[in-house]
Homo-oligomer: A and B are copies of this chain.
Amino acid sequence: MAESTAPDRTPTRRGPDPRRRSERARTAILDAAAALMGEVGFARMTMEGIAARAGVGKQTIYRWWPSKAAVVLDVFQREAGGDSEPLPDTGDLAADLRTVLRATVDEYNTPETDRISRAFTAEVQHDEDFARAVTEDLLRPHMRAYKERLRSAREAGEISPDADLDVAVELLTGPLHHRWLLRTAPLTHDYVDVLVDLALRALRP
């Protein structure tokens, strides 16, 4: 998304020239978007608002991003720094998963994170390009981190050697995500513990 366009020195009139892009404007836009995300949330944030706050022309936003969602995605990529942290590996899979998932639960219970995550989830539903970008840039790396930890556990014999690791990750995160997204019940550390327990029972050799 955003500026996927390569250096592009062919005069084929493909889009704007990224070499001439104003770093000042780019930063101001992302800062403004980040601030507005926190203040009014994704839904009530407007392109006009971002432009005004950033002291930037609307065209400058539209030149570099196709949509509001794309701008916000870049906000996140900037903050995430790029790679996802690997999961801790103390040798005790259950303990490690509990640690990480409890932290996830705590994040979900933070109003700020909750709001932003919901905005992304909503946006992903009616913009397939955005969905792809979010999946590739945020979600996939996140799930890959889990997968690596499970692979290590599988090698250590903690879980069945023929377990499908992708499904295994979903078995852990799916129920949690479901409960958060649809607000069917409160998200607690206890719930994490029960979930990890069940999942590992399913996965053990």
Contact = CB atoms under 8 A, between A and B. Distances in A.
Nearest to A140: B184
Interface stretch (A28-36, A73-81, A173-181): A173-181
A108 to B, nearest CB: 13
A115 to B, nearest CB: 9
Contacts of A140: 184
A43 B167 contact: no
A177 B182 CA distance: 11
A1 interface: no
B131 A126 contact: no
A157 B7 CA distance: 63
Nearest to A117: B125
Interface string A109-130: 0000000001101111110000
Most chain B CB neighbours (cut-off 10 Å) among A119, A124, A179: A124
B135 A126 contact: no
Q: In the complex, which range does the number of interface residues on chain A fall in?
A: 35 or more
A203 B131 CA distance: 34
A178 B172 CA distance: 11
Interface stretch (A48-56, A58-66, A190-198): A190-198
A170 interface: yes
A171 interface: yes
Contacts of A202: 198-199, 201-202
Contact of A122 (B121, B164, B179, B191): B121
A183 interface: yes
B126 A122 contact: yes
A136 B117 CA distance: 22
Given A122-B125, A175-B171, A178-B174, A185 B198 contact: no
B167 A198 contact: yes
